[in-house]
Every structure is written in structure tokens, then in C-alpha cells.
Amino acid sequence: MALLEILEYPDERLRRVAKPVKQFDEYIKQIVADMLETMYHAQGAGLAATQVDIDKRIVVIDISETRDQPEVLINPSYKAVGDKRSELPEGCLSVPGFYDSLGRYDHIILTATDADGNLYTKECTGIMAVCVQHEIDHLDGKLLIDEISMLKKQRFEKKLTKIRKMQERAR
Ligand code: GNR
Ligand code: NI
């Protein structure tokens, strides 16, 4: 087990499009274990391999209060059910200081495999649906600040500058 470093905006490695997993071996299981450890340590609801500089389509999610319901999504994709949008705000471990709703689909059907390569589908609504869409965006090199208005982006950049200064002082 190992804690992995989480990349932060504007790191260009967050922009890569991750490659599908083709072989389900011990190496993949080790990555999944390390990603789960890193997600729990960072107190995130989810983590995509792209965020820890691994160029593979692997996601871990745990939206439970008790932090004991890990879900593994390898080569995930989804289809929207209906057109209802979620107003749940979302944050990102790679984009500190930004927190807002992006109007994601509220209801999706997820298709993915587990760490053994077994295909499954799962109906997701609410926070789980938002989280799945957020993580798949990471695998495609997208971040939650990409489509926001100029005004919101300027506010975010200002806040980020402040956060970075505080981090520097704390070192
Ligand atoms: O910790 C996280 N919380 C969260 C809240 C609402 C919607 C999505 C998320 S994912 C985020 C962790 C993260 O950055 N995953 O990529
Ligand atoms: Ni994120």
C-alpha cells in the first residue's frame, strides 16, 4: 500500500486522456488499492487515476458516510436517463477552492468493470451520478472549471492565488 501524490490545477498532466485497461493483473489491483488509500486519506468522495499521474481508465468512489463502501470503476462509461439536472455542488481535490453545481445529469446508467475485469451496470442518481460524471471527466482530461463563466473563473483564480500564498507561508 502507498499514498499517491494528487496533482493540482494547472498541472498539464491532468489534461491527458487516459488509456483503457486491457489486462486485469496484480499491477491493476495494486493501483486500485493505492488509489483507495489515497482517496480515504484525502477525504475525497472519489478519485480518478489521472489525478495521481496514472494514465489508465481507473476510478474509485466511496460516497458512504461510514467510508466503508468502496466502488471500483474500470473503463467506465455512462448513458443519461432523462434530462433532469442535478443542483448538487461539487468540489475537486485537484481544484482546491472551487465548489459549485455544474448541472450534471441527475440519473445515469453506469457501465464499468471491477478490478477482476467483470462487467457490471449500475443505476446511479443524485451524488453518485454526479460523482461518476466528475470522475469520467478526469479520465478525459477535463476539470470542473473548464465550462464555467469568465466571472466565476476570475473569482476562482483569485482565490487560488490566496490559497497558494497561504500554503507557501505554512511551509
Ligand atoms: O471529494 C470530492 N467530492 C465531490 C463532491 C461532489 C461531486 C464530486 C466530488 S469528487 C471529489 C473528489 C475528486 O476530486 N474526485 O475527482
Ligand atoms: Ni476531481
118 CA distance to ligand 2 centroid (A)? 25
Summarize the confidence of residues 70-85 as an average pLDDT.
Answer: 98
pTM of structure:
0.97
Write the residue with the smallest CA distance to atom 1 of ligand 1.
44
Write the residue with the smallest CA distance to atom 16 of ligand 1.
47
Summarize the confidence of residues 52-64 as an average pLDDT.
Answer: 98
CB under 8 A, 24+ apart: contacts of 9-14: 9/94, 9/95, 9/143, 9/145, 9/160, 11/94, 13/50, 13/53, 14/50, 14/51, 14/94, 14/138, 14/141, 14/143
Catalytic residue among 135, 147, 157, 168: 135
Q: What is the pLDDT of residue 48?
A: 99
Summarize the confidence of residues 102-118 as an average pLDDT.
Answer: 98
On the question of pLDDT at 70 being above 90, the answer is yes
Ligand nearest to the CA of 42: 1
Q: What is the pLDDT of residue 99?
A: 96
Q: Is 135 a catalytic residue?
A: yes
On the question of pLDDT at 171 being above 90, the answer is no
Number of the ligand 1 atom closest to the C-alpha atom of 44: 1
Q: Which CATH class is domain 12-166?
A: alpha beta
Burial (CB count <10 Å: 0-12, 13-18, 19+), residue 118: exposed
**Mean of all residue pLDDT scores within the chain:** 97
Which residues does ligand 1 sit against, CB inside 6 Å? 44-48, 51, 90-94, 130-131, 134-135, 138
Q: What is the pLDDT of residue 93?
A: 98
Number of the ligand 1 atom closest to the C-alpha atom of 42: 1
On the question of pLDDT at 1 being above 90, the answer is no
CA torsion angle 31 34 37 40 (round to 10): -50
Task: Please report which confidence band the pLDDT of residue 39 belongs to, taking 50, 70 and 90 as the band edges.
Answer: very high
Summarize the confidence of residues 109-134 as an average pLDDT.
Answer: 98
